[in-house]
Amino acid sequence: MMQWLSNIFRLGLKELRSLYADPVLILLIAYVFSFAVYAVATGAKLEVINASVAYVDLDRSDLTGRIIGAILPPEFDTPQEIAASDLDRVMDNGDYVFVLSFPPRFEADVISGMLPEVQLNVDATAMVQAGNGSVFLQEIITAEITKFVARDDTSTSLPIDLVVTAQFNPNLQSTWFSSVMQVINNITILSVLLTGAALIREREHGTIEHLLVMPVSPSEIMLAKIWANGLAIILAAVLSLWLVVQGILAVPVAGSIPLFVAGTVLYLVSVTGLGILLATFTTSMPQFGLLALPVLVIMNLLSGSTTPMESIPNWLQTAMQVSPSTHFVAFSQAILYRGAGFETVWSNMLVMVGLSAVFFIIALIRFRQTMAADH
C-alpha cells in the first residue's frame, strides 16, 4: 500500500512539473479563472439595463405625459418620441426594444371607463430585456393609470399590501449569479481538458512508452493525473472565488469554502476520469477537443447552472441525474449562494461519491485496454 501511494505521489509530481513546463496551459488556467469570470459576470446581464424606448403620442394629454415621465433609468433610456408613420421602420431596423403607442382621446376614454388600448411593441430578439422589460412597462402603465383615476399620487389603491423579500440576492443582480456559476462551469471544463490533455501529451511526446515499462499500474497513473490536475484546478478556483468574485466583483460567498472544496474533490474524481476516458478514444489534441466539446456543452447547459432544472423536460431531468455536473451544481449553489451546511448537502456528496466510483472504474477499464494495446 505504501509503495502504491508513493508511486501515485511521485507520478503526480511529474504531472505538476509537466504542467508547469507548459505555459499555454498555465495561461489558460489563469485566464479562465480570472478575466473570463470577470468578463462574463460584468458583460452578460440578465436584468433590464438601459433598454431603449420610443413612443407615439397621438393624445398628448397629462396622463400620457405621466406615463412617459415614469419610464426612468437605469432600467430604461430616456424615451424618444417618434411619428406614427415611423413605427414599423424603427422596429424593423432594431432601433428600439420597446415602442409605446397611445391612441387619440386616450385620457378621455380612461376617465369615461371605455378601456382604451395602449399598444406595446416589443423587439423580442432581445429576449431577456423583452420579457422582463415588458413586465416592468406594464407595471408602470398600470400604476400611473391607477393613480390618475384615483387622483392620488401616493397610492395605487391595491386591496393588499404585497411585500416581496428577495433571499440570497436582495438586489437581484445577475453578477451574483453569473460570476459564481462561471467558476463552477470552469471547474468542469478544465477538469476534462487538463486530464485528457495530459494523456494525449504522453502519447505525443512518446513518454507513454516509458510508463509502460515502469513498475506502475494503470490505476496509479490515473490517480496521479487526477490528483495533480485536480490540485491545480482547486487552487485556481478558490483563488478565483476570493480574488475575483469576492474581491473585484464584491459578490458575497455565503457558505463554507472548505466544505465546497471537499465536495469539489469528490466531483473531480468523476469528471477527471471522464477526461481520461474521452482521451482513450483519441490520438491527438484536435480529436480530443472535437469529442470533448459536445460532452461539455451538454453537461453545462443541462446541469442547472444556466437554466433551472425545473425548466428542463421531465425525461431529460431524469437522464441528467447520471451526470455528476448536475449534482455538483446543486451542491455548489446550496453552499455558495444559500450558505448550506453539511446536513443539507450530504446527499449530493453521497451521489457524487457513487458517480465518481462508476466513472473511475469505467475509465480505468478503458485505460487498461488502451495501455495493453499500446504495449
Q: Give mean pLDDT, residues 199-210.
A: 74
Residues 278 and 368 in one domain: yes
Residue 106 lies in a domain: yes
Residue 157 lies in a domain: no
**Predicted confidence band of residue 159 (pLDDT cuts 50, 70, 90):** low
As a whole number of angstroms, the distance between CA 71 and CA 205 comes to 63
138-141 long-range contacts, CB within 8 A, separation 24+? 140/67, 140/70, 140/71, 141/67
Q: Give mean pLDDT, residues 194-216.
A: 76
Residues 267 and 185 in one domain: yes
Residue 89 lies in a domain: yes
Ranked by mean pLDDT, which of 89-98, 198-207, 212-221 comes out on top? 89-98
Residue 155 lies in a domain: no
Residue 165 lies in a domain: no
**Predicted confidence band of residue 312 (pLDDT cuts 50, 70, 90):** confident
As a whole number of angstroms, the distance between CA 23 and CA 29 comes to 10
Residues 199 and 309 in one domain: yes
Question: In 10 A of CB 358, how many CB atoms?
Answer: 14
**Predicted confidence band of residue 153 (pLDDT cuts 50, 70, 90):** low
> Residues near 204 by Cβ (< 8 Å), separated by ≥ 6?
284, 285
What pLDDT does residue 137 have? 93
Residues 343 and 203 in one domain: yes
Last residue of a domain, one of 150, 182, 206: 150
Last residue of a domain, one of 150, 165, 185: 150
Q: Give mean pLDDT, residues 95-113.
A: 93
Residues 18 and 103 in one domain: no
pLDDT digits (tens, 9 = 90+) for 288-310: 989 999 999 999 888 888 778 88
Residues 145 and 218 in one domain: no
Q: 3-state DSSP call for residue 53?
A: strand
Q: Which domain holds residue 15?
A: 2-44+173-374
Q: Is the pLDDT of residue 337 over 70?
A: yes
Residues 329 and 359 in one domain: yes
The answer to whether 79 and 54 have CB atoms below 8 angstroms apart is: yes
The end-to-end CA distance of the chain, in Å, is: 25
Residue 304 lies in a domain: yes
Report which of residues 57 and 374 the model is more confident about.
57
Residues 263 and 306 in one domain: yes
The set of cell numbers assigned to 218 is: 494503470
Nearest residue to 110 (alpha-carbon basis) of 70, 146, 158: 146
The answer to whether 249 and 42 have CB atoms below 8 angstroms apart is: yes
List beta partners, residue 55: 81, 100
Torsion from C-alpha of 99, 105, 111, 113, nearest 10 degrees: -80
Q: Give mean pLDDT, residues 352-356.
A: 93
Q: Give mean pLDDT, residues 44-66.
A: 89
Q: Is the pLDDT of residue 157 over 90?
A: no
As a whole number of angstroms, the distance between CA 316 and CA 79 comes to 43
The answer to whether 306 and 286 have CB atoms below 8 angstroms apart is: no
What pLDDT does residue 280 have? 87
Share of the chain above pLDDT 70, in %: 93
Taking the model in full, what pTM does it have?
A: 0.79
As a whole number of angstroms, the distance between CA 335 and CA 341 comes to 7
Residues 244 and 324 in one domain: yes
As a whole number of angstroms, the distance between CA 181 and CA 195 comes to 22
The answer to whether 292 and 193 have CB atoms below 8 angstroms apart is: yes
Q: Is 299 exposed, middle or buried (0-12, 13-18, 19+ CB in 10 A)?
A: buried
Share of the chain above pLDDT 90, in %: 49
Residues 62 and 18 in one domain: no
As a whole number of angstroms, the distance between CA 136 and CA 51 comes to 11
* CATH label of the domain that carries residue 80: 3.40.1710.10
DSSP summary character for residue 80: E
Q: What is the CA radius of gyration of the chain?
A: 28
- What is the average pLDDT score of the chain? 87
As a whole number of angstroms, the distance between CA 225 and CA 15 comes to 6
What pLDDT does residue 47 have? 75
What pLDDT does residue 369 have? 83
Please give the biggest Cα pair distance in the chain.
Answer: 93
Nearest residue to 360 (alpha-carbon basis) of 207, 260, 230: 230
The set of cell numbers assigned to 198 is: 495530459
Residues 274 and 134 in one domain: no
Q: Angle 339-317-334 (CA atoms, 0-180°, nearest 5)? A: 0
Question: In 10 A of CB 161, how many CB atoms?
Answer: 5
201-204 long-range contacts, CB within 8 A, separation 24+? 201/18, 201/22, 203/283, 204/284, 204/285
pLDDT digits (tens, 9 = 90+) for 169-191: 877 788 888 899 999 999 999 99
pLDDT digits (tens, 9 = 90+) for 214-267: 777 878 888 888 899 999 999 999 999 999 999 999 999 888 999 999 999 999
| Total number of domains in the chain | 2
Residues 185 and 60 in one domain: no
pLDDT digits (tens, 9 = 90+) for 63-95: 999 999 999 988 899 999 999 999 999 999 989
Q: Give mean pLDDT, residues 113-135.
A: 86
What pLDDT does residue 42 have? 85
